[in-house]
Structure formats: C-alpha cells, structure tokens
Structure 1
Amino acid sequence: MKRSGTADLPLHYGKVPSWLYERMSALGLSIVENILTDYGKDEVLKRLADPFWFQSFGAVLGMDWHSSGITTSVMGALKRAINPHSAQLGLYICGGKGKLSRHTPDEIQRVAYATGVDGNSLVRASKLTAKVDNTAIQDGYQLYLHNFIVSNEGNWAVVQQGMHQYDGTARRYHWHSQHLKSFIDQPHSGIRGVSRGRILNLTALEATQNRQGILSLSKEDAEYTLRQIRHLHMPMRHDVQSKDVNLKRLGALLYVTREADIHTFEDLLLLQGVGPRTLQSLALVSEIIHGAPCRFDDPARFSFAHGGKDGHPFPVPTKVYDEGIAILRNGIEKSKLGHTDKLKTIQKLHQIVLQAEQQFTPCFDVQQVIEQERKDAWQYGGKTVMGDSKKPIQTQKGQQLSFFS
C-alpha cells in the first residue's frame, strides 16, 4: 500500500442540487461498472487513488472543475450508487464526511463479515491513513472527510480531505494498498491541493532519522516538502482558461465529434443518430474509462463533457447528460448478456480521437468554444445552481459555428 498523491483545492461551500446529484450517481455507477467489466476491481481502486484521474472524473460528472466540492460530492454519489450493488460489483465504500467518517470502522467490519476479508487489519489501515494525514503531515489541514474503498478481495484505496484552518483551501490525500511497504516512509500515492509554502512532512523518506513516532511530532524541527508523490494544484479562480487544458487533445476531440462525418468511421456505426454534442460528452467519458494515466494532467478539459453546476465553463446540459447515461446503461446491460458491441464502440470513440491528435495542430480559441456552449445551453436543458439557461435574445439562425475554419 502507498499514499498515491494529494490535491489542493479552493474550499467551496454549498450543496449539490438534486438534479445533478441524481445524474452524478447514475453516470458514476455506469463508469465504474464499465471499468470493472474491462479492467477489474483493482483498476477501479488504482484510478480512485490517482488525484489527477479523480479530479478529471469529478469534472466529467459536472462538478466544478477546480473546487473541493468534487471530493465530497463524488464520493457521496459513488457510495450512494455502488453500495446497493456491492455484492455483485465486489466493491464497498465506507465512511464519508463529518459524522459519517466516524462510522468507517463499523462499516468495514460489516464488509468483512459479508466477504470474509480481515476486518481488523482493514480498520487498522483506515485509522493509520487518517492518523498520518492528520498528524504526521503537519501542513495545517485537519481532516473532515474519510472514505475507505475496499474490494471483496481485501485490496483498498483511501480518499480523504482536510480543511486549512486559516486560508480557505482544502487538501485531498489519496492512498492505495498496492505496493505500500510502510505507513510512514513516503506512503501516499497522491496529494491534491494549493501550495501554501513549506510544510513539515514526517513521512518523507528524508525524515527517517528525525522521526520518533507520532507522539514526538510536536518536538520535530525539520521541514520537508511533499515532492516525492503526485501532487495536483488547482487555481482559486472559477473560469477555465486555455492554459488549463491541453489544446491538442481538446481540439482533436472537438474536431472528431463536431466537424468530422461520423459515417466515415466504420467503428462508430452503432452511434449513428447520436448528435455531435452528445458524442463530445461520450468521447470524454470514454477517455475517463479507457484513457492512460498520462491523459489526466489537465482535469479542466473534462469539464467540456457536462459543464459545471456553477456555470463554469458553461451550464450543465442535462439533455446531453441523460442521453449519455442512457447509451452507457444500454451498453452495460447488453454486455451482461454477452453483447459487448455498444461498449466497444464507445471505447473506439476514444481511440479515434487519439488517432486524430497525431495530426492535429491547435488553431482555435477556447473562449470561443465556451461562449458557443453557453449560447447553446438552453437547447440542451442547461442548468446551474442559479436556474435554467435562457434562450438568447438574438440568435443567428441556420448557422453552425466551426471552430476550425
């Protein structure tokens, strides 16, 4: 097991509206089921333990692309969607935010009773990961969320988040049971957060000689940086800018889904009749499912699937969202009967975008894309926490904007 990384995020308050939470649960479950079908339970745990993939996953579900709310809302939606099907899926999500985090040991023991895994060792792992991030990493963040995700084979991942006492930021910590040799020598698989200067990290390998155990932390004087693990830093601003996305990747995706003739792709015949805007979302969902780890270093790009609840980069297109969920669910249900053609077609969509990237030279304006999405939002059932998108007063009829002309 190792700590797989961290993520720093601006701290956001407020609730996820029910219209989005329901969709997040449905799409999140479908994505997890698809990963399970093609790659297995350990791959799901590996993805959740990657701060870059996790942030991209939250963005594709329609949460604000950079905020701390991704952690609480995504894990809440996944727990709600996955746990009723845990016996079939072989995955269980324990814990949660605030009071729910204190129920983690009992929930783990119930999983152990149902599956036969060693509950005591899993409870110990849960408590130690929380202890390390709350105490051994003296970075000013106090944990308020702890989720322990475990398979019926006893492998696990941890996603937990702390709040800074003074500066209005949050830091997400990721752990993965795979390959972990120690809870105190560089254990994380990733950290996600905003840089706040130098911190005291007593889990860094360089701290071995100075570390006397958790009880002596307050006496330690040396400072260490979290440079040994994957660390994702997100800006405080809300708007998505060109520097936030890989323009080659986004441009190739927009070209394939909006400009190219889908009829020319034999592998996409089962998606005929699906509109360009839904194809755009499906292509990003397909990348979340099938993309290589290196594809997730620009999480903001995945917000071009379903926008964001606060309207950044644009309102959530609920009609597109629902159509994508229906296509995925249809493919998953058919695959259970041995008919995998639909899911393979969705996978091919990502491969076609990859091929297009090889010859694509970015020559478009991201802000132009965002503005067009906002203008068109009313057609796709656009919603934000402020309400429904309205039809623009002035529109140019019969003209489809091309970003590559």
Structure 2
Amino acid sequence: MEITGVADLPLHNGKVPNWLIPIMKRMSRALLDVMLLEWGPDKVVQRFSNPLWFQGFNNVIGMDWDSSGSTTVTLGIVKESVNPKEDGLAVLGGKGRASLQVQEELEKISSVLNVDATKLGRISRLVAKVDTTLLQDGHELYHHSLLVTESEWAVIQQGMNVDTKFARRYHWRSVSDPVDQPHEGISGARVDAVLNVLPKEGAKRALLDLLRENPRKIVQEYLRLQSVIRGTSLDTWLNLGTIGAISREARIVYMRPVDVTRVESILERLREANPGNLEEALLLGLGPSTARALSLISDLIYREPPSYQDPVDTPYDPFKYAFAIGGKDGVPFPVNRKVAYEVIITLEDVVSRAKLEKKDKERALNKLRELSVGVKEGT
C-alpha cells in the first residue's frame, strides 16, 4: 500500500453554478475517453492516485484550483461520467453518507467487474482508519472514494480541519499494506504537530503490546502521565527517572482530551479479541483517542515515541492548469464557455476518429483471418 500524496485545500463557500455542471460532465467524459483509449483503465486509476495530476484534471474541467470542493465535485462528476461495463473502471463512495456505501456498491459492480468485493471493502475501511488513527493531523474525514478496475484500485479521501477551515486530501494506490508503508509524495500546508505512528516500527510494536495489557492499568498509567505533562508532580517523576523531557510538539498532541471511560471499554474489547496485528486492531475498533493514550505510554514509559512531524512536503503548484478554461469562482478568470466547448468538441472528435480507425483495423484483421482460413482449406 502506498499513499502517493496529500494536498491542503481551503473551504470555499457557494456551489457550482447549474450552467457549469453540463460542461464539467462533458469535459470529464471527453478526457476520460481519451485516457481510456490511450492508457486503459488501470493507468487512469493510477493517474487519479497522484494528487498533483488529480488537481490538474480538476482545473481543466473548470473547478477552482485551490478549493476543497475540487475533491468532492470532481469525483462526483467522474463517478457520474464513468460506465463500469464499458470503461472497465468504477468510482464508488463519495461525500458524507455516500462514503459509507462503498461495500454495497462493490457488491453491485462485482457482477460487472471481476473484483473481490470483500477484500476491497476491507481495504476501504482500513485506509480510512489509518488516516484517522495512526495518522492524526487535526483533519476529520468527510469524503471517501474508491476507484477500482479488475487489477488496480485507488482511494481518495478528504478531511476538514474545523479550526483552520482547510481540507486535506489523501491519495492511496494499491501496493501492499497501509499500516506498514510510509507516505509517499505528500504535499500540503504543515500544521504544528501531529501524531504519526506509521513511520515508527517500535511505536507500532509497542501499541500492539499495550493492547494485551490490563485495561485498568493502562488507564491509570495514562492518567498519571497526563498529570506529568500538565505540570503537576513533574519533579517527582523526573527524580524517579521514569521519563525525560517532553517536547512542545508532543505536549500539543497528548493534551487533546480523551474520554478515559470509553478508552477503557475499547481496550477491554480489544484485549478479549486479541488482534494479531495493527490491521486487525484498527478494524476491531482501535480509534484515535485510544491510540493517542497508548502512544503517550509508549513514548514516556517505553521510550518508543511516534513521530510528531507533519508528513507533508512542499507541493508543486498546479495553478497553471486553471488557465485551461478558467475556474467557477472566476480565478484566474471566469470559465470561458466558448473555449470549453471547443476543447470538448475537439476531444470528442479525436476519440471518435480513433475508435473508427480501431474498428477499421479490426475489420481488416478479421478479413485477413478469413482469407487465411480459406487458403488453408483450398477455397
């Protein structure tokens, strides 16, 4: 499993105007036709898993280059534009309630595409859990889309930070394992501190070991350490040599509130289930608060801290693609309908010609086969 990127996008008010929606749908379909013809469905899914390429596609169809809606609207448009039976790919899930319908949609399309609905449904749930529990960056997920072909898949999900009003988009592509693979090609605006267990093998092992401990003992240890980082009885703890200095970033992460009663209940359930790895623990109910409490103990008692650094880097600015036909909010200029339709018609014409040429080639090959059979039979 490989996360191929994360992008930060500000919340924009308003909605896509009614006159722009048909343009965006037709442009999306024209672009998809070209891509499917040139690359095939697997490559299309791979392209969408790249956050910068996704942003360029979003710009070209007329969405704003820096809007949080570039994820929800673009994927909604693409979902309506694709035909799984004809295109060999499907877009599932979406915003809000639609994000919870992935499993149901997978079961429906399994009669059209040869996909393992159970396996992909598990992957879909696991990816969402990883980006909320093992990586805690202050963004609450509200959009989750799964793009699938018979041999490739990608997940694109988005979270919103209610304080900064910025959205963050997470891109995943089928490789191996979401728990054990680091983020790759991540981009966006940094935040002060995050809890990121993913790159720390020792921290991951410690979390799993702590899940096997007595839940009551874990909660008591957590409460004692909370008193330490809040400043009470610090000298006593330091004199005992139990913990060392704790960084500002760690304090920011661990001082977020945790419902210890609920955490204890979850720990009891997980201890009884005895998960063999973190994947199982996540799917059985390990959530952000419990992971944060366990990470504090792992950090200060067992000296196996998570990372507190935001795992994003500086993105390549995809703003230039917004100059294709403009953006819905008038940035860098209002959508130019004339140019948009000229592009659409040109693309549709290219696809039509290519499809005709393909049919002509197929007819010629079939004719040659018929002649070849005739020669062999002496006709």
TM-score normalised per structure 1:
0.63
Residue type of the partner of 1:8?
Answer: D
2-side partners of 1:175 and 1:110: how far apart? Answer: 23
2-side partners of 1:210 and 1:170: how far apart? Answer: 31
1-side partners of 2:151 and 2:334: how far apart? Answer: 40
2-side partners of 1:173 and 1:309: how far apart? Answer: 23
Any conservation in 2 of the 1:49–1:176 contact (CA below 8 Å)?
yes
1:214-229 equivalent positions in 2, closer than 5 A: 214=282, 215=286, 216-219=290-293, 220-221=295-296, 222-227=306-311
1:283-362 equivalent positions in 2, closer than 5 A: 297-338=316-357
2-side partners of 1:37 and 1:124: how far apart? Answer: 31
1-side partners of 2:138 and 2:12: how far apart? Answer: 18
How big is the shift at 1:209?
A: 4.2
Any conservation in 1 of the 2:191–2:310 contact (CA below 8 Å)?
no
Comparing 208-217 and 32-41, the one that deviates more:
208-217
- Counterpart check, 1:127 vs 2:134: no
Describe the shift of the 1:338–1:188 C-alpha distance in structure 2 as closer, same or farther (beyond 3 A).
farther
Describe the shift of the 1:182–1:52 C-alpha distance in structure 2 as closer, same or farther (beyond 3 A).
same
Describe the shift of the 1:310–1:162 C-alpha distance in structure 2 as closer, same or farther (beyond 3 A).
same
How big is the shift at 1:14?
A: 2.3
Residue 11 (structure 2) aligns with: 11
Unpaired segments of 5 or more residues in structure 1? 234-296, 341-405
Match of 1:149 among 143, 147, 164: 147
- Counterpart check, 1:173 vs 2:170: yes
Residue type of the partner of 1:320?
Answer: V
1:159-308 equivalent positions in 2, closer than 5 A: 159-177=156-174, 180-205=175-200, 207-212=203-208, 213=278, 214=282, 215=286, 216-219=290-293, 220-221=295-296, 222-227=306-311, 231=313, 297-308=316-327
Match of 2:106 among 105, 108, 127: 108
User: What is the CA deviation profile of residues 322-344 of structure 1, one whole-angstrom value per residue up to 9, with x for unaligned ones?
Assistant: 1110010111112111169xxxx
2-side partners of 1:188 and 1:19: how far apart? Answer: 39
1-side partners of 2:335 and 2:314: how far apart? Answer: 25
2-side partners of 1:304 and 1:77: how far apart? Answer: 20
- Counterpart check, 1:52 vs 2:136: no
User: What is the CA deviation profile of residues 330-371 of structure 1, one whole-angstrom value per residue up to 9, with x for unaligned ones?
Assistant: 11112111169xxxxxxxxxxxxxxxxxxxxxxxxxxxxxxx
Residue 92 (structure 1) aligns with: 90
Q: Could you say what secondary structure the match of 2:112 adopts?
A: helix
Residue type of the partner of 2:39?
Answer: Y
1-side partners of 2:176 and 2:115: how far apart? Answer: 20
2-side partners of 1:87 and 1:100: how far apart? Answer: 21
Comparing 89-98 and 201-210, the one that deviates more:
201-210
How big is the shift at 1:87?
A: 0.7
Any conservation in 1 of the 2:134–2:198 contact (CA below 8 Å)?
yes
2-side partners of 1:231 and 1:333: how far apart? Answer: 41
Residue 62 (structure 1) aligns with: 62
2-side partners of 1:339 and 1:328: how far apart? Answer: 16
Q: Could you say what secondary structure the match of 1:217 adopts?
A: helix
User: What is the CA deviation profile of residues 69-123 of structure 1, one whole-angstrom value per residue up to 9, with x for unaligned ones?
Assistant: 11011101100111xx221110100001011111111001111232232110010
Residue type of the partner of 2:8?
Answer: D
The count of residues paired between Structure 1 and Structure 2 equals: 270
Q: Could you say what secondary structure the match of 2:42 adopts?
A: helix
How big is the shift at 1:211?
A: 4.0
Residue 241 (structure 2) aligns with: none
Unpaired segments of 5 or more residues in structure 2? 209-277, 297-305, 360-379
Any conservation in 1 of the 2:195–2:309 contact (CA below 8 Å)?
yes
Residue 370 (structure 1) aligns with: none
Q: Could you say what secondary structure the match of 2:324 adopts?
A: helix
TM-score normalised per structure 2:
0.67
Any conservation in 1 of the 2:142–2:159 contact (CA below 8 Å)?
yes
1-side partners of 2:313 and 2:119: how far apart? Answer: 28
Any conservation in 2 of the 1:137–1:200 contact (CA below 8 Å)?
yes
Any conservation in 2 of the 1:172–1:192 contact (CA below 8 Å)?
no
Residue type of the partner of 2:66?
Answer: H
